[in-house]
Amino acid sequence: MQRSLAFTGPCGGAPVPGVVLYGLGAIGLEVARRLVESTEWPIIAAVDADPAKVGRSLAELTGLDSAPPVAVARELPAEAPPGAVALHMAGSRLPTVEPQLVELIEAGYSVASSAEELCYPQLRHPEAAARLDALARQKGVAVAGVGVNPGFLMDLLPLVASTVCLDVERVEVERIVDAATRREPLQRKVGSGMTPEQFEALADREEIGHVGLMESCALLADGLGLAADRIEEELKPALAERQIRTDYFEVAPGQVAGIIQEVRAMEGETVRAKLHLEMYLGAPDPRDEVRIVGRPELRLVIPGGTPGDSATVAALVNAIPRVAAAPPGLHTPKDLPLTG
């Protein structure tokens, strides 16, 4: 037997007249290239504070002759076309990026931001979160933190998987990343080539480690309705056991090769959610793994792991219609519509 039914395809959401790129680092330029190649949403402006980029064209910076005739500006265009979206890619910590987000909201842009702390800002910065939410509602725009980790792998993915569970007792997520396969800024960010003493000094000042892991854990616990009363974090260096050479670093035995970081959502002395991240040069068996202890028990594995750089670009670009379709206010990744 053979059957055929007509399918009209996706209905589509509200039209997006244009996209502003705010921040043109490595990820921002890859986002620009993707938007130029897809041609679905036009780039109407690009903003960056780097004097070496201000005044240069997107065609020059991306290497794509088909890029729109947009020059990088230091200042944001004063007013957004109705429905325009800004992709904010200019920082991780909310106290640093809040003025930038305010500027975008005031100008009338809905915002999808890669700032890790924005994925669950209520955890560390509840007052700033309340300010941004109130302003976004006043201006009639949506604002959300989006990304891969946080934003998907260790929070949204296990949340979606849990929807087929009758009960959830505990969630465990493990992400193993061979940092040698990643870009130079990430290898530097995880402390490659440092001494253990240098690493510990930075850790004491909260200047090293993966930003957003505690936010992921809080988002996961919140979304699952887990009765957690606190979130704990441990961070230690992964030390090289042999000489390691990458395109950017040479690490001797005993020096830092990366990080081992774990965050737990606790209910008393019971672990309700555990996120374990290993990100170091030469990490064996890279993978992303989710285990849900409940009815039924589920285990999801992505062999090789998710390529963080290209996935971050995808998360930002794919967030354009989703944030455009969201109601006004500040949203976490779990609040956004799954599609635009």
Q: What is the pLDDT of residue 182?
A: 87
**What is the pLDDT of the chain when averaged over all its residues?**
94
Q: Are 113 and 83 in contact (CB under 8 A)?
A: no
**Structural domains in the chain plus CATH codes:** 19-146+311-331 (3.40.50.720), 156-305 (no CATH)
Task: Point out the least confidently predicted range of 47-56, 261-270, 304-313.
Answer: 304-313
Closest CA to 219 of 279, 263, 261: 263
Residue 335 pLDDT: 92
Is residue 11 scored above 60 in pLDDT? no
Average pLDDT (50-55) is 96
The pLDDT tens digits of the residues spanning 232-242 come to 999 999 999 99
Q: Give pLDDT tens digits for 177-217.
A: 999 988 888 899 999 999 999 999 999 999 999 999 999 99
SS3 assignment for the chain: CCCCCCCCCCCCCCCCCCEEEECCCHHHHHHHHHHHHHCCCCEEEEECCCCCCCCCEHHHHHCCCCCCCCEEECCCCCCCCCCCEEEECCCCCHHHHHHHHHHHHHCCCEEEECCHHHHCCCCCCHHHHHHHHHHHHHHCCEEEECCCCCCCCCCHHHHHHHHHCCEEEEEEEEEEEEHHHCCHHHHHHCCCCCCHHHHHHHHHCCCCCCCCHHHHHHHHHHHHCCCCCEEEEEEEEEECCCCEECCCCEECCCCEEEEEEEEEEEECCEEEEEEEEEEECCCCCCEEEEEEEEECCEEEEEECCCCHHHHHHHHHHHHHHHHHHCCCEEECCCCCCCCC
Band the pLDDT of 76: cuts 50, 70, 90: very high
Task: Check whether 340 has a pLDDT greater than 70.
Answer: no
Select the more confidently predicted residue: 256 or 308. 256
The pTM is what?
A: 0.92
